[in-house]
Amino acid sequence: MIANFGLAALWFAAALAILQMVAAGLSIRRDNPVLAGLVRPAAIVQGLLAAAAFGALIALFWRTDLSVKLVAMNSHSAKPLLYKIAGTWGNHEGSMLLWVTIMGLAGAFVALVERRLTERAMLATLGAQAFVSIGFYAFLLVASNPFERLNPAPPEGLGLNPLLQDPGLAFHPPTLYFGYVGLSIAFSFAVGALITREVSPLFARTMRPWVLGAWIFLTLGITAGSYWAYYELGWGGWWFWDPVENASLMPWLAATALLHSVSVLASRNALRAWTVMLGVVAFSMSMIGTFLVRSGILTSVHAFAVDPTRGTFILVLLAIYIGGALLLFALRAATVTEGQRFTVTSREGALVCNNVMLTATLGIVLIGTLYPLLAEAMGNKVSVGPPYFNPMSAMFVLPMLVVMGVGPLLRWRRDKLVRIGRRLIAPAFFSAGGMIFMLVKGASALPALGMMVAAGLLVASLMPLSGRRLRMVTLPLWGMVLAHFGVAVALFGMAADSAFTKERLIAARIGQTTDVGPWKVELQTIMPVAGPNWTALEGALAATYQGDHTVILRTQSRSFWAPFQQTNESALHTRWNGQLYVVLGDQVEGGRWQLRLWWKPFVTLIWLGGVLIALGGLLALTGRVASDLRRLVAVNMIAYRRKRQGR
């Protein structure tokens, strides 16, 4: 019953998307108030129907309705409720349904609140949004129907991948999806602007909060995903350059570039074609990333739906949407005039530099992700890892961050470095200090450079506030400062972690004590424990920091039985200056146990930095929305007064 309802809602949503696209398309070509009036309501109802279908799927997972194939394949009646619900999007079909739901709701939200653009541009935008949605509805209904039934229903489900049974997973994918799919709005705005040839500061101001919103979710999603991989996979690393991680990083890089170029367009009416281009690229990267992961064309731990048919389907969608948008860009961008001019040493100049560097980094990540595919097409098998990604991306990111320290101090249009020279003394001093410290400690080149830039940035990022009355500083400026400061904090954590991490891999007897960094760790006991759908061997370790202050850590080697899989649950102890990370492995000969121990100085700053960046985005978004609302109220007040006076 619920399944039928969900499927029906999905079909109606798809039909409304078609109506929305056709009505928008026709009324752009020839003014037609009746058809144009249909577009916004269609967008709103379409979003609600998609949400209803998604709600139906959640209900099916909640009740563990095993007559639905998807539930039977991915859930189990003995699973905790949180993971039953999270299981809704822990699989291919459910996550694609989440994708169209977010896309529909985002479109509905735009249709509901956005009144700044001209009606024609709005129609083009909503039409483009519907056009993209239709493809994904078709993909769901034809190639990955989440509501497919099983007759007879099996007595029990197969269960959810145990790695995914973690509170982090309940929120990490939806957060990332809000980011990925939120960028579809930027894509639709860009396509709409190309269709109507209306690329203006107004267009940029309209697009900015949507980009900012998607970017905040992406930032949080990537940060959470990195922390999840860090503690759940038990490998002790926080970034693996895995194709899926790259798939989330690439849209983020494009969105970050877009966020900065949109500011130039909004306040200076420059970088017009470039901003439109980035709007197309950002969401294209979301789709390409999803495709690379879902088609199984790249092997990855995340590839939970390896299926060439689906891969081909998504590829066709990609070719239509991205290819179409780029074709439109090539045809129309020549008619977009260049906009205002500026010198190299200016705020715009610094932002252009940021954009070029971010785009270059994006290129490097994309090439590294695709290279194994290219090599395989030529008959070689290779994998590309940190030895390529780390130095290559640092080559562009570190100089970019130096510019990030200086850029906000420059004036718009034209400026001289001499003017701000004195304000750069303190950051330069800290940079030198950071470098010297790392060289004395004998760190290798990359972490040393990272620490140098981080130390300077920690100060430089706060500089835009100096000489201002703090009460007068606008929210978007606070947001920028906080986000840039977050970048410095995260970079500090990365440099400290990669330079000073201590690792031990031992086969320990019970009662044996080992050193790792400033810690002494004793393996005290190994005890069996049981959870709701797993049993485990739990190792208790007593860790002592520099001779005093002992803590007990419990790490487990878990065996899940539906489906059968072993996972290692790491145990962490966080101090202000770092984390102790322990993982229990297998039993080895002679009654000893494999133990992996890490002392990771300041590693938590990486994720703290990520959260600060997202918070910065949130402040900026709040500021922008608040000032838009104030402007709206003022305009309405004036109109109201005029009306009364006229009477």
Of the candidate residues 151, 467, 470, 589, the single one contacting another protein (CB under 8 A): 589
Q: Exposed, middle or buried: residue 639 (CB in 10 Å: 0-12, 13-18, 19+)?
A: exposed
Site for another protein in 239-278 (CB under 8 A): 271, 273-274, 277
Of the candidate residues 82, 373, 473, 638, the single one contacting another protein (CB under 8 A): 373
Does residue 456 belong to the site contacting another protein (CB under 8 A)? no
Site for another protein in 377-416 (CB under 8 A): 377, 381, 414
Contact yes or no for 406/428 (Cβ under 8 A): no
Is 354 or 501 the residue whose CB approaches another protein more closely? 354
Contact yes or no for 290/247 (Cβ under 8 A): yes
Is 75 or 188 the residue whose CB approaches another protein more closely? 188
* Residues ≥6 apart with Cβ < 8 Å to 340: 268, 269, 270, 413
Does residue 526 belong to the site contacting another protein (CB under 8 A)? no
Q: Is the dihedral of CA 351, 357, 359, 361 positive or negative?
A: negative
Minimal distance, residue 584 CB to another protein, in Å: 16
Minimal distance, residue 267 CB to another protein, in Å: 16
For residue 488, give both structure tokens: 């410095």
CA dihedral 384, 390, 392, 398 (to 10 degrees): 160
Does residue 342 belong to the site contacting another protein (CB under 8 A)? yes
Is 24 or 297 the residue whose CB approaches another protein more closely? 297
Does residue 417 belong to the site contacting another protein (CB under 8 A)? no
In 402-533, which ranges are E strands?
502-508, 513-516, 519-530
Is 474 or 587 the residue whose CB approaches another protein more closely? 587
Of the candidate residues 248, 295, 300, 568, the single one contacting another protein (CB under 8 A): 295
Among 224, 243, 244, 226, smallest CA distance to 235 is for 226
Residue 507 main-chain phi, psi, to 5 deg: -105, 105
Is 222 or 270 the residue whose CB approaches another protein more closely? 270
Of the candidate residues 23, 42, 123, 281, the single one contacting another protein (CB under 8 A): 281
Minimal distance, residue 28 CB to another protein, in Å: 23
CA atoms within a 13 Å half-sphere pointing along the CA-CB vector of 260: 25
Of the candidate residues 1, 115, 152, 334, the single one contacting another protein (CB under 8 A): 334
Site for another protein in 346-365 (CB under 8 A): 348-349, 352, 355-356
Does residue 322 belong to the site contacting another protein (CB under 8 A)? yes
Contact yes or no for 505/586 (Cβ under 8 A): no
Rounded to whole angstroms, the Cα distance separating 380 from 376 reads: 5
Rounded to whole angstroms, the Cα distance separating 176 from 165 reads: 18
Contact yes or no for 13/42 (Cβ under 8 A): no
Site for another protein in 147-166 (CB under 8 A): none
Query: Taking contact as CB under 8 A, which single stretch among the options 37-45, 76-84, 183-191, 343-351 is the one that binds another protein?
Result: 343-351
For residue 385, give both structure tokens: 């890892």
Is 360 or 477 the residue whose CB approaches another protein more closely? 360
Q: Exposed, middle or buried: residue 635 (CB in 10 Å: 0-12, 13-18, 19+)?
A: exposed
Is 206 or 284 the residue whose CB approaches another protein more closely? 284
**140: which DSSP letter?**
I
Does residue 343 belong to the site contacting another protein (CB under 8 A)? yes
Does residue 588 belong to the site contacting another protein (CB under 8 A)? yes
Minimal distance, residue 264 CB to another protein, in Å: 10
Query: Taking contact as CB under 8 A, which single stretch among the options 326-334, 451-459, 538-546, 633-641 is the one that binds another protein?
Result: 326-334
Does residue 321 belong to the site contacting another protein (CB under 8 A)? no
**68: which DSSP letter?**
B
Residue 557 main-chain phi, psi, to 5 deg: -110, 105
For residue 333, the tally of other CB atoms under 10 A from its CB is 16
Query: Taking contact as CB under 8 A, which single stretch among the options 145-153, 187-195, 215-223, 329-337 is the one that binds another protein?
Result: 329-337
Is 351 or 618 the residue whose CB approaches another protein more closely? 351
The rounded Cα 250 to chain-centroid distance in angstroms is 9
Query: Taking contact as CB under 8 A, which single stretch among the options 11-19, 60-68, 84-92, 328-336 is the one that binds another protein?
Result: 328-336
Looking at residue 215, its amino acid is: W
Does residue 333 belong to the site contacting another protein (CB under 8 A)? yes
Looking at residue 92, its amino acid is: H
The rounded Cα 404 to chain-centroid distance in angstroms is 21
Is 148 or 338 the residue whose CB approaches another protein more closely? 338
Minimal distance, residue 595 CB to another protein, in Å: 17
DSSP string over 525-574: EEEEEE-SSEEEEEEEEEEEETTEEEEEEEEEEEEEETTEEEEEE-EEEE
Residue with tokens 């290279």: 371
CA dihedral 459, 465, 471, 477 (to 10 degrees): -100
| Count of residues interacting with another protein (CB under 8 A) | 49
Is 273 or 494 the residue whose CB approaches another protein more closely? 273
Does residue 370 belong to the site contacting another protein (CB under 8 A)? yes
Does residue 344 belong to the site contacting another protein (CB under 8 A)? yes
Round the CA-based radius of gyration of the chain to a whole number and report it. 27
Query: Taking contact as CB under 8 A, which single stretch among the options 12-20, 308-316, 447-455, 524-532 is the one that binds another protein?
Result: 308-316
Is 377 or 440 the residue whose CB approaches another protein more closely? 377
Of the candidate residues 329, 534, 560, 602, the single one contacting another protein (CB under 8 A): 329
Rounded to whole angstroms, the Cα distance separating 344 from 416 reads: 10
Rounded to whole angstroms, the Cα distance separating 494 from 600 reads: 10
Does residue 422 belong to the site contacting another protein (CB under 8 A)? no
Minimal distance, residue 468 CB to another protein, in Å: 28
Does residue 1 belong to the site contacting another protein (CB under 8 A)? no
Query: Taking contact as CB under 8 A, which single stretch among the options 45-53, 314-322, 519-527, 539-547 is the one that binds another protein?
Result: 314-322
Angle at 419 between CA 413 and CA 424, to 5 degrees: 110
Does residue 564 belong to the site contacting another protein (CB under 8 A)? no
Does residue 594 belong to the site contacting another protein (CB under 8 A)? no
Q: Is the dihedral of CA 485, 490, 491, 493 positive or negative?
A: positive
Residue 466 main-chain phi, psi, to 5 deg: -70, 140
Site for another protein in 173-202 (CB under 8 A): none
Bridge pairing between strands 571-575 and 534-545: unpaired
Question: Interface residues with another protein (CB under 8 A)?
Answer: 271, 273-274, 277, 280-281, 284, 288, 291, 295-297, 299, 308, 311-312, 315, 318-319, 322-323, 326-327, 329-330, 333-334, 336-338, 341-344, 348-349, 352, 355-356, 370, 373-374, 376-377, 381, 414, 587-589
